[in-house]
Amino acid sequence: MSETIRFRLNGRPVALDVDGGRTLLWVLRTDLGLTGTKYGCGEGHCGACTVLVDGEAVRSCRVAVRDVAEQDVVTIEGLARGAALHPLQEAFMAHDALQCGYCTPGMILTAYAFLKKNPRPTADAIAAALEDNLCRCGAHTRIVEAVQAAAAKMAGGN
Partner 1 sequence: MGDSRDFQDYEELHGRDDTNASPIAPLNRREFLKASGGILVTVALWDEALFGQEAPGRPARPSLPTDFNAFLRIGADGRVACFTGKVELGQGPVTSLAQEIADELDVALDTVDMVMGDTDLCPWDAGTFGSLTTRFFGPPLRAAGAEARRVLLELAAERLGAPVGELVTADGFVCVAAEPSRRVAYAELAKGQRIERHVAGVPIKQPSEFKLMGKPFTRRDARSKVTGQAIYAGDVRLAGMLHAKILRPPVHGARFLEADLSAARAVPGVQVIQDGDLIAVLHPLPDVAEAALAKVTTRFDTPAAAVDTDSIFDHLLKVAPEGRPVAEGGDLVAGSAASAAIVAATYTNDYVAHAPMEPHAAVAHVAGDRVTVWASTQTPFPARTEVSRTLGLPEANVRIRPVFVGGGFGGKTRNGQIVEAARLSRLSGRPVQVAWSRSEEFFYDSFRPAAVVTVRGGVTGEGRLSLWDYRVYFAGERGAAHFYDIPHHRTLAHNPSWTAPSGVHPFATGAWRAPGNNTNSYARECHIQLLAAQAGVDPVEFRLRNLKDPRMIRTLKAAAEKFGWQPANPPSGRGLGVACGVDAGTYVATIAAAAVDTATGRIRVKRVVCAQDMGLLINPAGAVIQMEGCIMMGLGYALTEGLRFAGGDVRDRNFDTYEIPRFSWLPKIETVILDLPDDPAQGGGEPAIIVMGAVVANAVHDVTGTMVYRLPMTPARVLQALKRDGFGMR
Q: Which residues of the chain form contacts with partner 1 (CB under 8 A)?
A: 22-23, 26, 29-43, 45-46, 48, 75-77, 79-80, 83, 85, 88-89, 92-94, 96, 98-105, 108, 126-128, 130-144
Q: For the beta carbon of residue 148, count every other beta carbon within 10 angstroms.
A: 20
Closest separation in Å from C-beta 103 to partner 1: 5
Residue type, 19: D
Closest separation in Å from C-beta 135 to ligand FES: 3
Cα–Cα distance between 141 and 123 in angstroms, integer?
A: 10
| Residue 150 contact among partner 1, ligand FES, none, beta carbon within 5 to 8 Å by kind | none
Closest separation in Å from C-beta 93 to partner 1: 4
Closest separation in Å from C-beta 33 to ligand FES: 18
Kindly tell me which of 20 and 47 has the beta carbon lying closer to ligand FES: 47
Within 13 Å of residue 7, how many CA atoms lie on the same side as its CB? Answer: 24
| Residue 112 contact among ligand FES, partner 1, none, beta carbon within 5 to 8 Å by kind | none
Kindly tell me which of 24 and 151 has the beta carbon lying closer to ligand FES: 24
CA angle 2, 106, 110 (to 5 degrees): 105
The DSSP annotation for 40-89 comes to S-SSSSS-TTEEEETTEEEEGGG-BGGGGTTSEEE-GGGSSBTTB--HHH
Kindly tell me which of 66 and 140 has the beta carbon lying closer to ligand FES: 140
Q: Are 41 and 29 in contact (CB under 8 A)?
A: no
